[in-house]
Structure formats: C-alpha cells, structure tokens
Amino acid sequence: MGFLDPHILASKILEWVREDAPFGDITTELLVPEGRSVEAVIIAKSSGVVACVSDVARALKILGLEAAPLVGDGEEVRRGTAVMKLGGDARSILLFERTILNILMLLAGIATKTRKIVDIVRSVNPRVRVAATRKVVPGLRALVKKAVALGGGDTHRFSLSDAILIKDNHIAIVGDVEKAVRLAKSRASFAHKVEVEVTEPSDAVRAARAGADIVMLDNMSPSKVAEALELLKREGLRDRVVVEVSGGIDEDNVAAYAKLDPDVISTSVITMKPERVDMSLEIERLL
C-alpha cells in the first residue's frame, strides 16, 4: 500500500526536524561525542494499531540511519511491544527522536480510532463503509489517509482535484441543488462521479433526480436520515445512488446510523480526535 514516496517523506522529516532544532540540538551536542554510534528501539507504551512504520523506516534509511520495522502496518500491538529498530549515529537518532515518535504516535492514534469505529459499524451492519474526510493537518495528508486505510477505513477523496463534491457554498452560488448537479454532470468527464451534499431529506430526492451519483446526508439526525432513505426508496431512487451519511458522527452514535443501512458513513473524528497511543525511544546498546 503505497501512498507517499519515501524520498518525499524523508524531506518532510528533515523539514520538521529543522523546526524542532533550528540551530541544532544543543543538549546532545554538549554531551554526546561526534562519531558515537548506538542501537535503539521504539516501544509502544500503550496498546493500539500501528501505522506507516514501514514508510518511516524507509525514509530514515534515506536519511542515513539503519531502520527496520518490527511489526506490520495495521497490526494491533500491546504495551511494551517493540515497534522499530534503529541504528547509527547517536546524535542523529536523538535529533530525530521526538519528530519520529510524534509521527508514529499520531498515525497509530488515527489507525486505532478508525479500527474502533469500523469494528462498531461492522458489528451492526458489515455492508457499511467507514470513511475519512479532508479534515487533516496540512502536510500530513498522505500519511493520515494511509493510517485510515490501515485501520480498516476508506480514505474518501484525497484532494479537491480527484473527486466532484458539490457542497453548500457551491449550491449557494449556483442557485439550487438540481441546477448544481446538472451543471456538474454536463461539464464533468465521464470518469468522474458527482456527489452532492444535502441537509434536508427532500433535497436528497432532488439531487438524485437530477442525476447525482452520490448523495451525502450532512448533519442529519438518525430520524432525518431514515426519512431521506425512505423518500429515496419511495421515489425508486435508492438503488441509483450511493448514500453517504456525515456530520457529527463518532463512536457514541455511529451504530445508530449504521442500523439505517446507508452505504457510507464518513467522519472527521478519526483524523481530528485520534486515540492516544504513546511510544518511546530507548537506547539499547552503545557501539
């Protein structure tokens, strides 16, 4: 599963390290002699689903360190599990330490939260997909999307460039839902599906009639979602569209939405409020 070129990730890690140590790591430079080599290990301090360990390891190799994953991406680990082995220049390892840990902890938290919500949904309705949104920290998109996939979720669209999603502000400018859908369908490539976001059950029907391929029921209560689905069925439109439910959905209410049998449930909670997965780096041996 390749989402990010390791050379690009390596350059990003360097950028983040420069932010953390703009004029060097003064403590390490005072205490650790040049040329000292060590072996180190990254250890999980809490349970969770690890993500992108192999990506980070490949990037660190490009940056001159020895790095080897000790667990598989998407694997559930317990407290005390060794996640990655590192070797090389001691100053470099200490310089990279916090940046590497921050990346791995964030991505593990996202994968863990995704797995948690996916498991809830599957226990209620295995047919329903759980998807992420575009609510991600700039610069981390590819890693975050991969963490979602490793947690069992759907990445949804990666960017504004690869999918058509008509939102409320588009509709406000164009005039109405039907006009926006027809305009998009008439101008878009045959290769692109058209999704439209609606906030009222009646607009779901209008969007489907106008030719939308995907209808997103946004910020609707379970009762409103049920109403929208019933209206689509009554009009003979339910099987013609993919129905996505989104907005305000988390682990506490996702089961209620899954029971209604939409096709997709998307939520930003998996990327904006990840689980806390702690890790540490320990020096194992001086070389």
For 229, phi then psi, to 5°, come to: -65, -40
* Residue 218 · residue 166 · CB < 8 Å: no
Task: Verify whether residue 195 is a known catalytic residue.
Answer: yes
Q: Is 135 a catalytic residue?
A: yes
* Active-site residue, selected from the candidate residues 85, 98, 209, 259: 98
Cβ contact 148:155 at 8 Å: yes
Q: What is the DSSP string of 187-215?
A: HS-TT--EEEEESSHHHHHHHHHTT-SEE
In the chain, the amino acid numbered 110 is I
**Residues 218, 238, 244, 275: which is the catalytic one?**
218
Active-site hit among 18, 167, 179, 285: 167
275/77 Cα distance (integer angstroms):
14
User: In the beta sheet, which residues pair with residue 266?
Assistant: 131, 246
Residue 259 is among the residues annotated as catalytic for this protein:
no
Q: Which of 135, 187, 276, 285 is catalytic?
A: 135
Distance from C-alpha of 195 to C-alpha of 192, rounded to nearest angstrom: 10
Judge whether 157 counts as a catalytic residue. Answer: no
218 labelled catalytic: yes
Tokens (6 digits) for 263 = 């096709």
Q: How far is it, in rounded angstroms, from Cα 59 to Cα 65? A: 9
Residues with catalytic function? 98, 135, 167, 195, 218
